[in-house]
Amino acid sequence: MKSEKKSSTSAEDSFGLFSDESHMRAALRLAERAAAEGEVPVGAVAVKDGAVIAKAWNQVEMLKDATAHAEILVLTAAANAIGDWRMDGVTVFVTKEPCAMCAGAMVNARVERVVYGLADPRCGACGSALDVTGFKGMLHNVAVRGGVLEPECKALMQEFFRKARVRGAKTAKPEKGNSTAEEEGKGKR
């Protein structure tokens, strides 16, 4: 028997709000892995038809490659998984707002939607500092939802930079006027 009245839970679920959160949790676990490997903690998953098709985390230090952001690596892995560079119907979940490079890659890959956690007012290219994903002159626009599990994503980032500062203080003399808040605000990867 079908009930006419939907609970708020099933109503929200039908809009994908809860599945956005669960996929962001998976991205957060990958970001934690990045942090454990000494990388700036950013994790990403690619989802098609409700299933995770690719996972990645930031590996700039390990690969010694400035382009090895989680989003770029997840796009490559997703292309391998589906056998096509076109990401029709694919949503990318990433713990931090993509930079200009990654937002541009998502446009070129025709990603349908990007969901990010922590906004990046200084370098974010999904509407914060720049709007690469929504720029009208682009061949394709990517739908954006930001702020999913933002407190958790932010806490992970802050903890990483706090520990990095402690390590830095043990191995080097602190420089005067070297603002730690500024470093965080840069959204370095």
Task: Identify the residue among 46, 79, 90, 102 touching Zn ion (CB under 5 A).
Answer: 102
Ranges within 110-169 binding Zn ion (CB under 5 A): none
Q: Output the residue with the shortest Cβ distance to Zn ion.
A: 102
Give kind and range of the element (H or E) at residue 37. Answer: none
Under the criterion CB under 5 A, does residue 99 sit at the interface with Zn ion?
A: yes
| Interface size with Zn ion, residues (CB under 5 A) | 4
Q: Which of 71, 97, 112, 184 is catalytic?
A: 71
Q: What is the DSSP string of 102-170?
A: HHHHHHHTT-SEEEEEE--TTT-TBTTS-BTTT-TTSS---EEE--TTHHHHHHHHHHHHHHHHHHHHH
DSSP single-letter state for residue 188? -
User: Cα(56)–Cα(48) distance, rounded to whole angstroms?
Assistant: 15
Residue type, 119: A
Work out how close the CB of 107 gets to Zn ion at its nearest, in angstroms, rounded to a whole number. 13
Q: And the tokens for 45?
A: 């998953």
Q: How far is the CB of 141 from Zn ion (least distance, A)?
A: 18
Of 109, 112, 184, 107, the closest CA to residue 153 belongs to 184
Nearest distance from C-beta of residue 100 to Zn ion, angstroms: 8
Would you call 182 a catalytic residue per the annotation? no
Interface region with Zn ion, contact rule CB under 5 A, candidates 22-30, 48-56, 102-110, 166-174: 102-110
Q: Provide, rounded to whole angstroms, the least separation between the CB of residue 143 and Zn ion.
A: 18
Q: What is the footprint of Zn ion within residues 20-79 (CB under 5 A)?
A: 69
Residues in touch with Zn ion (CB under 5 A): 69, 99, 101-102
Which of the residues are catalytic? 71
